[in-house]
Structure 1
């Protein structure tokens, strides 16, 4: 499953900011959002607010008198590199976990700069202010929820493609197989916690496909490459939090799979132990870049502005393989 380019859009109006502000997710990804409040000479940020597909969440309660409201949103690490563009006009500080930063234009230790986009929410029928996160597919709520389920089914190894928010026998068959394998009834699909149930399943070792598990105290960023007999395509980065597992989205039946991973700190700098980077790879040199990437041509990485790193081949002859990243 190739991660599609997604657009972040908002319904805009000149409605006055007098009530609660909520964000509504019409994307096929579970997202985490951070807001920035620009009030006169001070700018504060707060996050992360997790929002499931087709769900809304209040991020500011009561009267909002800010000069500007800004937003940064990212998809959960389970999806790999966030498909949401990070190209806002304001650079503000965030932290990895839940945070509230009073002076957010000068980052301190444990904080990293992120791009925020100014938003002007519209006033909803209930009197609150609302901004919608949307993809280029322009899903409505029902379609966003179904597309979100399809996307996680594919990552978990079930054939629910294409990810289009349209129900059908293929999606229902994949969903039924998933529920059966976890001993769940069909009623759980309508549960407000169903996306949590699916993500927990994706973050556990699987008997099929490739699984990465992070047994270190550090965040791990990983990349996967597949050889279909015609070309080798490398793709990353996937964020794997400490103590978590993740299935990279490998579809089809590639002839060979390769893996590379490295541990990073809160500023995304490579962790080094005794002057050696803490990483897990091999001798097969493939192209990567610092940000999200999908690269099908592996020659002359450096002359194309890319970085060549050593990937390790993964033996998939048993049908499933779990790679565990541990401290040396």
Structure 2
């Protein structure tokens, strides 16, 4: 961990310069966190997370003439789970605010990867995040409506048009909070966001590693009439990962894990449900005949029953099979 902190500090200091910043604007109805990467003589520089309110903008990285890449995600304030704006290039990120340059081996520093989208020439100075509804200059009002809804207030339609229902629910929130915001829209949105985070950030499935070795985790979840399986989350000893962020309502979630013991992989013991996996990162809707699709079968264990929309699973050494002789 000390080596990681020292290396990160060196990389942050290497990002200095007086270059003009590039802008990222949020025309969605969500509070988002954005990260940007750009080419430098020593490799890719990347920094995040810039939190951008609906209808707002933030300056992230320089507006350079070199290639630039962007990734954004919603915060965990929303009932439907985290949404992403992404591309196809894997780039290292950290969970907390970060700034790196020239990092290629994410695992060495305990970093995760996210898929960034390459920006066009026109987007280098100003990139815009949008959603299907294309709210444009109505994004702030739409964001207010969505936060009211996520905080538990009676909003049925997210349309970005101010109406009596929205005003009544704002008044109800102010009454519950014991504070009137008046014309301070940014403070109102920030307070609503905090309320929605407190209400919803415990949703989904969190997996914690209580072993003294890293683990890789895959998750299977009921989707429609079938299941979707995703992997892998690498979790360091003593760490946790939010593998699902949507509200859980029943016994529809299963977990598989591998303890990384040197060059050996020790599988999770006592699994009962078969799903398909691969050694590399994957998403699969297949459950049977895994080999015919280039996958391999693995036995998953049911996640603990959800409480208030969330579930926590802790793994230690006793949860894994003994290494082969």
Q: TM-score of the superposition, structure 2-length normalised?
A: 0.59
1:260 maps to 254
1:13 maps to none
Report which structure shows greater RCO (CA 8 Å, sep ≥6).
1
Paired residue for 2:273, among 281, 284, 299? Answer: 284
Measure how far apart 1:172 and its partner are. 8.6
Contact 2:23 2:60 (8 Å CA) reproduced:
yes
Pairing of 1:148-159 with structure 2 (within 5 A) = 150=146, 153=149
Is 1:203 the counterpart of 2:197? The answer is no
Contact 1:26 1:140 (8 Å CA) reproduced:
yes
1:3 maps to none
Is 1:184 the counterpart of 2:174? The answer is no
1:212 maps to 205
1:324 maps to 312
Where structure 1 has 5 or more consecutive residues not aligned to the other structure, the ranges are 1-16, 124-128, 205-209, 264-269
Kindly tell me: are residues 279 and 195 of structure 1, through their superposed partners in 2, closer, same or farther at Cα, counting changes over 3 Å? farther
Contact 1:262 1:279 (8 Å CA) reproduced:
yes
Is 1:232 the counterpart of 2:229? The answer is no
1:21 maps to 22
Alignment partners' CA distance in 1, 2:50 and 2:85:
15
Measure how far apart 1:47 and its partner are. 1.5
Kindly tell me: are residues 311 and 185 of structure 1, through their superposed partners in 2, closer, same or farther at Cα, counting changes over 3 Å? farther
Measure how far apart 1:306 and its partner are. 4.6
Contact 2:23 2:127 (8 Å CA) reproduced:
yes
Paired residue for 1:249, among 246, 249, 252? Answer: 246
Measure how far apart 1:288 and its partner are. 6.0
Kindly tell me: are residues 302 and 105 of structure 1, through their superposed partners in 2, closer, same or farther at Cα, counting changes over 3 Å? same
Measure how far apart 1:272 and its partner are. 3.1
Query: Whose helix proportion is higher, 1 or 2?
Result: 2
Measure how far apart 1:238 and its partner are. 10
Pairing of 1:1-328 with structure 2 (within 5 A) = 19-39=20-40, 41-54=41-54, 55-60=56-61, 64=63, 66-76=64-74, 78=76, 83-88=84-89, 92-104=91-103, 109-110=108-109, 111=111, 115-121=116-122, 129-143=125-139, 146=142, 150=146, 153=149, 183-184=176-177, 190-204=188-202, 211-216=204-209, 223=219, 225-226=221-222, 231-234=225-228, 236=230, 242=239, 248-250=245-247, 257-261=251-255, 271-272=259-260, 282-287=271-276, 293=283, 295=285, 298-306=287-295, 308-309=297-298, 310-312=300-302, 315=305, 320=308, 322-328=310-316
Three-state SS of the structure 2 residue aligned to 1:200 is: helix
Alignment partners' CA distance in 2, 1:240 and 1:187:
44
Contact 1:202 1:246 (8 Å CA) reproduced:
no
Contact 1:224 1:257 (8 Å CA) reproduced:
no
Larger radius of gyration: 2
Alignment partners' CA distance in 2, 1:27 and 1:148:
11
Three-state SS of the structure 2 residue aligned to 1:192 is: helix
Where structure 2 has 5 or more consecutive residues not aligned to the other structure, the ranges are 1-17, 182-186, 317-325
Three-state SS of the structure 1 residue aligned to 2:252 is: strand
1:5 maps to none
Contact 2:49 2:98 (8 Å CA) reproduced:
no
Contact 2:32 2:52 (8 Å CA) reproduced:
yes
Alignment partners' CA distance in 1, 2:251 and 2:134:
34
Q: TM-score of the superposition, structure 1-length normalised?
A: 0.59
Aligned-residue RMSD, C-alpha = 5.1
Equivalences, count? 279
1:10 maps to none
